[in-house]
Amino acid sequence: MLSSGIVIGDNEGNFRPHQTATRAEMAIMLSRLLGKLGYT
């Protein structure tokens, strides 16, 4: 998911895979995934 651009990390570009994702972060990732699949 990182290489596809769905997950890009925080404001500083850090990716923390073991940190819990917030509801807002999940909404953004889902939106990006649906965009990649052509549902936008």
Domains of the chain by residue range = 1-40
Please tell me the pTM assigned to this model: 0.73
| pLDDT tens digits along 1-40 | 667 788 887 888 788 889 898 999 999 999 999 999 999 7
From residue 3, alpha-carbon distances to 7, 20 in Å are 8, 20
* Contact criterion met (CB below 8 Å) for 25 and 33: no
Supply the pLDDT for residue 15: 82
Q: What are phi and psi of 34, to 5 degrees?
A: -65, -35
| Three-class SS state of 18 | coil
